[in-house]
Amino acid sequence: MIKYHGKQVYEGIAIGKLYWHHHGKKDIKKRAVIDIAGELERLEYAVSTADEQLRCLYEKTVKEAGEEQALIFEIHRMMLEDADYLNAIKEMITEGVNAEYAVFSAEKQFVTLFAAMDDVYMKERAVDIQDISQRLIDLLSDSCGQEIHTTEPVVLLAEDITPSEIISLNREQILALITRKGSVNSHAAILAKGKNLPMMVNAQIPNPVELDGKLVIADCFEGEIYVEPEKAVVLEMSRRKELWNKKQQELLRLKGKNNITKDGRSIKIYANIGNEKEVSDAIFADAGGIGLFRSEYLYMDRTQPPSEEEQFQSYKSVLEQMPGKRVVIRTVDIGADKQVPYLLNETEQNPALGCRGIRLCFEKPDILMTQLRAIYRSSFYGNVAMMFPMVISVEEVKILKKMAKDAKEQLTEEGFECNDVPIGIMIETPAAALLSERLAKEADFFSIGTNDLIQYTLAIDRQNSHMEDYYNEVHPAVLQLIEMTVQNAHKAGIEVSICGELAGDIMLTKQFIDMGVNELSVPPVAVLKVRKAVIES
Ligand code: PEP
Ligand code: MG
């Protein structure tokens, strides 16, 4: 038995075969596909994303090294449009083969063709074919959920994982997720919690390929990975797993109970979701509402933004599933690790400090207007509210409110029935917390995004695993900013929620209640745990 270590992200114990998910050529397996249209759509997505990546690379290289150096990326873009190459791939897919393998085969065919040419220039194009094919394969492999084909659920080991990959994972196939890189505070980690998926990051596994197919135990409480465990270890871990399941079952008894502290204070406990499918988890957990709908996930894994109608249907579906209950839609927060290539034009050096959240909306107002119209249209179907991410000034809020007003007026003129929608602000930058007294006069409510508030207050990249020791959630500066925000909100007569991961930390529940926080919004799986902590406070 060998034991490796990792960092715990989300608790749980998984026992099963390990599946090493490796992006790259070596792993390209031929697989029969039935959904040919779906496979062609995946190819189309990969081609357009590759094109966008190459365009950005071209522009960046022109700026940094000049036109001559950048030319190669234009050549790659042209090759990506080559009808013969693309048709060869599409033909194979149409015959019922997976897109990765089709690209891999076309690459082999074209490399041989170019390599055999007499013309030196044409000969060299063989390398370019390899290059663009690898780019396509990498992009296709990004949807790792679609690539995992196992006969039984597995412990998935990957180098790293992006938010959009987590979204595409088939939860039923995965017992636990382990990554060799990654950070505890990333959006990928938040999404894993949302999926109730035990997870560890930073696993110190030197030779992952050797573990492929072996029986492992992922102890995501302690951050331990046991490879080919001895019988006694399997028995002990199974016992602990059972105990954990029992505890979870016991929590279910709190369903239907009120969130009232010992001294009679009532706290709202809401759920955070990323799409309309997760509402069922929130309902199952007896959440009082949705305190954070991370709408940006609707924009991922596609080639263009969701239309007004698509968004409207999604918001309406959430509202109808939660009749009378408050649903807070956070307007799109793309940027940083939530990459949406078709909307982000430039590769930034510091994306967390770059064009993120409302900043992207100011650059592309159509994106926000479409979303605002969809939110107002959905207001007819339930108790919806909206909030804006990454605010740093009062002026920004005034502009955003004006845009919201315009959207509502447009719709009314067009004959839609819509209600007033409360407008909140996320307090997730130190600037917003420090200006909270003034911002409170402009907002209907505050929601404190502690994940970013910690990152920006402490100047610690939440994505950087090497900096995790500095990412101190209970740093006095952070707690002071939270307390100040709550006080300023109450002074102005508005409510304040915490929707960052800290809201689910039951060691802090009492402290937050004492500060006067009105609502805690947590992943659905944490709702009952927090209810218990409130009742015991
Ligand atoms: C936060 O920053 O705490 C938050 C809730 O937003 P996100 O994690 O989506 O950035
Ligand atoms: Mg945030």
Domain extents in the chain: 2-23+147-251, 36-140, 253-535
- Residue-wise pLDDT tens digits, 107-118: 989 988 887 888
Diameter of the chain by CA atoms? 86
For residue 145, pLDDT beyond 50: no
- How far does residue 139's CA lie from ligand 2's centre (Å)? 26
- State whether CATH 3.20.20.60 applies to domain 253-535: yes
- Residue-wise pLDDT tens digits, 2-19: 999 999 999 999 999 999
What ligand 1 atom has the least distance to the C-alpha of 187?
A: 8
Region 292-320: what's the mean pLDDT? 93
| Range with the poorest average pLDDT among 191-205, 435-449, 489-503, 509-523 | 191-205
Contact residues for 240 (Cβ-Cβ < 8 A; gap 6+): 13, 219, 221
Around ligand 1, the residues with Cβ closer than 6 Å are 190, 292, 294, 333, 428, 449-452, 499-500
What CA–CA distance (Å, rounded) separates 286 from 194? 15
Q: What is the pLDDT of residue 231?
A: 96
Q: How many residues does the chain have?
A: 537
* 499 a catalytic residue: yes
2-23+147-251 CATH choice from 3.30.70.270, 3.50.30.10, 3.40.50.1360, 3.90.1660.10? 3.50.30.10
| Range with the poorest average pLDDT among 91-105, 125-139, 401-415 | 125-139
Neighbours of ion ligand 2 (CB under 5 A): 428, 449, 452
Strands in 2-5's sheet, in edge-to-edge order, are 2-5, 224-227, 215-219, 13-21, 154-158, 174-179, 199-201, 7-10
467, 460 Cβ separation under 8 angstroms: yes
> Per CATH, which fold does 36-140 belong to?
Enzyme I; Chain A, domain 2 (1.10.274)
Angle at which helices 36-65 and 99-115 cross, to 10°: 60
- Residue-wise pLDDT tens digits, 224-282: 999 999 999 999 999 999 999 999 999 999 999 999 999 999 999 999 999 888 999 99
- Residue-wise pLDDT tens digits, 417-443: 999 999 999 999 999 999 999 999 999
Which amino acid residue places its CA nearest to atom 9 of ligand 1?
A: 294
pLDDT tier, 149 (very low <50, low <70, confident <90, very high otherwise)? low
152, 16 Cβ separation under 8 angstroms: yes
Task: Give percent of the chain with pLDDT exceeding 70.
Answer: 96
What ligand 1 atom has the least distance to the C-alpha of 451?
A: 3
* 187 a catalytic residue: yes
DSSP alpha helix (H) spans, 252-303: 279-284
For residue 144, pLDDT beyond 60: no
